[in-house]
Chain A
Amino acid sequence: MQSIMNPLLGAVIFSLIFCTSAMAGDLDSFKGDKGELAIAGGTAHIPVMKEAARRIMTANPEIRISIAGGGSGAGVKQAGEGLVDIGNSGRKPSDEEIAKYGLHLFKWAIDGVAIIVNPGNKVRALSQEQVKDIFAGRISNWKKVGGVDKQINLYSRDEASSTREVFWKTALQEREIVANVNIIASQGAMKATVSQDPFGIGYISAGFIDESVAAVAFDGVMPSQQTVKEGKYAITRGLYSNTKGEPVGLTKKFLEYLFTVEGQQIVAEQGFIPVQ
């Protein structure tokens, strides 16, 4: 037994060393560092933040990175008040916010906001007028847009969500949203809800789309990395990380890491468009 185990173990250790050393290039700056880094805010950012944090903490276990949600509003506020080191927002912080808190902005990805339906729903394309009518309550049955004869169940996001802000400004052109819309508090919850509701419609960050929900073409364009990158898909926004004042130390290194080849690779892997 021992003789079988040892080469196996050796292989595992070898591959671990090999892998880490092969990938450690962009992580070198974290060597010898220790400390804590608190991140909060936009929920669209979380998958990228998590993956980056996982790699950094694997390479250097002395570093602890905590990642919380809360929405873009909370991200700007908490970074501005010094409660967290990095506050994420899915919108560019307003000029007042930047001036008031002395924020420094780092836009590390571009993201599409995709309209989603349940995979069981046959509707795969909507025009902007149809989307506006659906969210205003003027179209309330799937039959009118080529689906089954069922009531449309609307899902929107909370007041602090920048996904909502972008969707409302770009897709709905600031038109009213009907009062009986259900409000969901995060990207993940939105995906879970629409994947559960056969007659639901909602919207999430394009990076969050997987087989549990189906994206809908908006004015004939499907949201994808390609269409967002080429500017064909209309509902897009930047993903920002904000710091109070010039970032230093671990905060600076973390943000720099997001812009390295490896960092931008994570961005792409998670379904967003790298900025570089």
Chain B
Amino acid sequence: MIRGCERAVERLFFGAAFISALITISIFGFMFVFGLPLFSGGRFPEIMTRPWAPHLGVFGIYPMIAGTFAVSLLAMVFAFPLSMGCAVLISVTGQGRLSRLLRRTVEIMTGMPTVIYGFVGIFLLIPLVRGIFGSGSGMCVLSAALVLAVLVSPTMILLFCDSFERVPPSYGHAALAAGATKIQRFLHVTLPCAGQGIIIAFTLSLGRAIGDTLIALMLAGNGVQVPASLFDSVRTLTAHIALVFAADHDSLEFRAIFVCGMSLYLLTAILSLLARRAGSKRRQQ
């Protein structure tokens, strides 16, 4: 009886896993089929390398790829040290109450809807960036990256904390017994042991920064150009999809967003594969 029940549950879970894998794969297939008119005739390299000028019949998404990397990598430049600092304060040097308070705050922040950050960004950050740096509209790589950093940091902080806390306490005790300070223990024991966890947290957060639509759409300005400075208006792949989505659905313009979708899909797939490899390496150790 119990075995039969167990088997049924097993099948149920297998079915669920199979269906979700199937959906993921078929989404990719779907995007490929819809993007096909753009791939045929060897136009693929053209799409990946040329600018976007629909009225001239050029549907390159290179500026959007460059924009995506500019915004998300800059966001990580801000978010990584910020998250590392917070995580250290919470789980390494912090005293009981302060670190608990900080942790609760960070936990609440992880659930904040993106649109709120975007909204606050428009009314507070954009005028500030415009005012401080003098030129430009304030809608630029920098503004979007700053807000994205705030968006991805909470998750990164919690993942960092997790990876610090998973280091066996006996290691830490040994270091303390040998006369190390808390900081020394962190730098020479915890950090090396938590290395893989940090890499995983970084890659997952980068994936989130690349995949976020609303913040880039609201704050990056959406200008179609390869950014030459932090104050240039850029359009990310996600924002491009959102903006072109309402165009005439039979046009090549519209087909081009399936290529954007595929690029995003592949990018995030590669990132999560990298994260998984880092994870499996750690388990082997």
- The answer to whether B172 has its CB under 8 Å from any CB of chain A is no
B246 touches A155 (CB 8 A): no
Nearest residue in B to A41 (C-beta to C-beta)? B246
B residues near A151, Cβ cutoff 8 Å: 135-136
A residues near B233, Cβ cutoff 8 Å: 180-182
- The answer to whether B137 has its CB under 8 Å from any CB of chain A is yes
Chain A interface residue number, banded: 20 to 34
Interface size of B by Cβ–Cβ distance < 8 Å? 32
With known contacts A151-B136, A185-B217, A200-B137, A159–B243 Cβ distance under 8 A: yes
B246 touches A74 (CB 8 A): yes
Query: Once the chains are docked, how many angstroms separate the CA of A155 from the CA of B54?
Result: 18
- The answer to whether A250 has its CB under 8 Å from any CB of chain B is no
B243 touches A158 (CB 8 A): yes
Identify the stretch in B176-184, B220-228, B262-270 within 8 Å (CB) of chain A at 4 or more residues: B220-228
- The answer to whether B47 has its CB under 8 Å from any CB of chain A is no
Identify the stretch in B122-130, B188-196, B275-283 within 8 Å (CB) of chain A at 4 or more residues: B122-130
With known contacts A153-B137, A197-B137, A160–B246 Cβ distance under 8 A: yes
- The answer to whether A179 has its CB under 8 Å from any CB of chain B is yes
With known contacts A181-B233, A182-B221, A196-B126, A160–B244 Cβ distance under 8 A: yes
With known contacts A181-B233, A183-B235, A155–B247 Cβ distance under 8 A: no
- The answer to whether A73 has its CB under 8 Å from any CB of chain B is yes
B223 touches A159 (CB 8 A): no
Option from B55, B123, B222, B244 in Cβ contact (under 8 Å) with A182: B222
Option from B123, B130, B221, B249 in Cβ contact (under 8 Å) with A183: B221
With known contacts A151-B135, A153-B136, A197-B137, A180–B232 Cβ distance under 8 A: yes
Known A158-B244, A183-B235; further 19 A-B contacts with Cβ < 8 A: A70-B246, A71-B246, A74-B246, A77-B246, A77-B248, A77-B249, A150-B135, A154-B137, A158-B222, A159-B253, A180-B223, A181-B223, A183-B222, A183-B223, A196-B122, A196-B126, A197-B130, A197-B137, A197-B138
Query: Once the chains are docked, how many angstroms separate the CA of A76 from the CA of B54?
Result: 20
B residues near A150, Cβ cutoff 8 Å: 135
Which A residues are within 8 Å of any B CB, using their own CB?
Answer: 70-71, 73-74, 76-77, 97, 150-151, 153-155, 158-160, 174, 179-185, 192-193, 196-197, 199-200
Query: Can you name 23 A-B residue pairings with CB atoms under 8 Å?
Result: A70-B246, A71-B246, A74-B246, A77-B246, A153-B137, A155-B137, A158-B246, A159-B54, A159-B247, A160-B245, A160-B247, A179-B51, A179-B223, A179-B225, A180-B225, A181-B223, A182-B223, A183-B221, A183-B224, A183-B235, A193-B139, A196-B127, A199-B137
Nearest residue in B to A199 (C-beta to C-beta)? B137
Query: Once the chains are docked, how many angstroms separate the CA of A160 from the CA of B240?
Result: 12
A residues near B122, Cβ cutoff 8 Å: 192-193, 196
Nearest residue in A to B52 (C-beta to C-beta)? A179
A residues near B63, Cβ cutoff 8 Å: 179
Measured CB to CB, the closest approach of chain A to B123, in angstroms, equals: 7
- The answer to whether B101 has its CB under 8 Å from any CB of chain A is no
Measured CB to CB, the closest approach of chain B to A246, in angstroms, equals: 24
